[in-house]
Amino acid sequence: MAVEWSGLTPDLFIRLDRQSPETLGSQLQNALRTAIREGRLQIGERLPSSRRLAVDLGVSRGLVQATYEQLEAEGYLRAFGGSATRVAFSPQTTVVTSPEGTPAARMEIDFAPGRPDLNSFPARDWLWACGEATRTASARDMGYGDPQGSIRLREVIASYLQRVRGAFAGADDVVICSGFTQGAALTLAALRAAGATSVAVEDPGHLDMPILVRRAGLKPVFIPVDDRGLVVDELARTKATAVIVTPAHQTPTGVVLAPDRRLALLEWAEQVNGVVIEDDYDSEFRYDKQPVGSLQGLAADRVVSIGSVSKSLAPAIRLGWVLASRHLGAWIAEEKHRRDRCSPILDQLALARLIESGRFDRHLRRMRGVYAARRIALVEAIGEHAPNLVLTGLAAGFHAIAQLPRGADEAEIVAAAAQRAVGLQGLDRYRSPNSDGPPGIVFGFGDVNQDAIRRGIAAIGDLLRQG
């Protein structure tokens, strides 16, 4: 879709060579044809008025009018009486195909996990917080800022994490970053600089974790996950000195790390002088059980806890935090400064205002109700259309696992569902290349409303029953 420029007539970058034997009119025609063919000027886009373009190029208005008329005759442009001249031609585009060579299908109902309800973003509260942040910001706040982050936001985050996650935190322990991915990358870079060579990751686990570890110049070591979380005994048999875990709601299985394994994991970190990187990604959303406290609150000197507002508000905010011991936090802040100096200060101040005003808590309470209702809708729809399946991992977050019978073909079910415009993900895609396990389907329900959940499961119920 072309951008509709408002206000004054839009500028247009065209260079004419007055030393060229080619006439200025011919040069202008060729320049506009090329810009349209290459897609720099898109169909429907408004061109400058003939008077404005003539002034900008230092040519006569008649030359520009003649150029527009010629290109209109050729089908490149279209003139509207009393309005602007617009692009009428669109270059041939390439059809994007899937790896199998068929056109990529658009999923009408997509159960992709990890996506919050983007339609429920608290826009009014965020606009209010942005206004408050801008109104009260000092001249100092308008500068580049501390790479560790705004002191106000760090104070608010530290207080919030102590209140709702049982963390052990002060403002000096917090580094503000651009979401979990950057927070993990900064932490891994700091660990590598401190001498780490390998980092353990959960298997099955988050798809990005091995990639982040390799990008940091470290070797990923895959540790199995069972119905009690990370198998810590397997971790102890490796040479890893750091591990990335999702203890409150494991990705993707949804299990909670068992209490004895939590303690064993911290004992391992102490024995190897290592670090536990805690991904606290959707701990705000729990339903049937009491919240599980942060690992960091048990061993602040051994655990780096990383969180963000990507799941609680929206990924577009691009703000998160790293809670680390002050020595490691200083390395992380230095790496943050080296990469992008600091995260946007006004956004940080807005988030601080949103949280301390109580509007953030109010939004979370409302979203717990929304996700709980969708969770019930998924359970009921599966019970009606595929009663043979067992759903697990429902205690928190907004995804669940449907356990398939052994021998079921995950890939076949996912492909068949896609033909019906229903997006699914198999559990196998979260496993390392050399691991194996029972088949399953990961159902995300964060960004799928109740009606869509029911329709989606009804559309693929026969596939799930066959599995």
What does the pLDDT look like over 295-351, one tens digit per residue? 999 999 999 999 999 999 999 999 999 999 988 999 999 999 999 999 999 999 999
Q: If DSSP codes are grouped into helix, strand and coil, which group holds residue 3?
A: coil
What are the tens digits of pLDDT across the range 23-60? 999 999 999 999 888 888 888 888 888 998 999 999 99
**Dist CA 258 CA 230 (whole Å):** 9
Q: What's residue 101's pLDDT?
A: 41
Written out in words, the top-level CATH class of the domain with range 1-93 is mainly alpha
Tell me the torsion sign for CA atoms 440, 445, 450, 453: negative
Amino acid code (one letter) for 419: Q
**Dist CA 263 CA 275 (whole Å):** 14
Is the domain spanning 122-357 CATH 3.40.640.10? The answer is yes
Residue 439 has pLDDT above 60, yes or no: yes
SS3 content of the chain, % helix, strand, coil (to 5): 45, 15, 40
Poorest-pLDDT segment among 11-15, 265-269, 314-318: 11-15
Q: How many CB atoms lie within 10 A of CB 15?
A: 7
Q: If DSSP codes are grouped into helix, strand and coil, which group holds residue 168?
A: coil
Backbone angles phi, psi at 323, to 5 degrees: -105, 110
Residue 99 has pLDDT above 50, yes or no: no
Contact by Cβ (8 Å): 115, 447: yes
- Collect all residues with Cβ–Cβ distance below 8 Å to 270 and sequence separation of at least 6: 299, 302
Task: Give the helix/strand (H/E) hosting 62.
Answer: helix 61-74
- Tokens linked to 268: 């391992």
* Residue ranges per structural domain of the chain: 1-93, 109-113+362-466, 122-357
Widest pairwise Cα distance in the chain: 84
Contact by Cβ (8 Å): 111, 425: yes
Q: How many CB atoms lie within 10 A of CB 38?
A: 9
* Helix pair angle (345-356, 123-136), 10° resolution: 120
Backbone angles phi, psi at 287, to 5 degrees: -125, -65
Query: Exposed (0-12), middle (13-18) or buried (19+): which is 82, by Cβ within 10 Å?
Result: exposed
Q: What's residue 74's pLDDT?
A: 82
**Dist CA 385 CA 275 (whole Å):** 45
For the chain, the average pLDDT equals 90
CA angle 200, 272, 334 (to 5 degrees): 70
As a whole-number percent, the residues of the chain with pLDDT over 90 amount to 74
Strands 219-226 and 399-403: unpaired
Alpha-carbon Rg for the chain, nearest whole angstrom, is 28
Helix ranges restricted to H, 307-433: 326-340, 345-356, 359-385, 410-419
Q: What's residue 98's pLDDT?
A: 46
Residue 155 has pLDDT above 70, yes or no: yes
Q: What's residue 2's pLDDT?
A: 59
* CA-to-CA dists, residue 466 to 183, 316, 438, 463, angstroms: 42, 39, 16, 5
**Dist CA 262 CA 236 (whole Å):** 14
Count of residues for the chain? Answer: 467
Q: How many CB atoms lie within 10 A of CB 76?
A: 19
- With cut-offs at 50, 70 and 90, classify the pLDDT of residue 104: very low
pTM of the model: 0.82
* Helix pair angle (151-165, 345-356), 10° resolution: 40
Strands 229-230 and 219-226: antiparallel
How many separate helices (H) and strands (E) can be counted in the chain?
14, 16
Contact by Cβ (8 Å): 317, 347: yes
CATH number of 109-113+362-466: 3.90.1150.10
**Dist CA 241 CA 235 (whole Å):** 10
CA angle 368, 374, 377 (to 5 degrees): 145
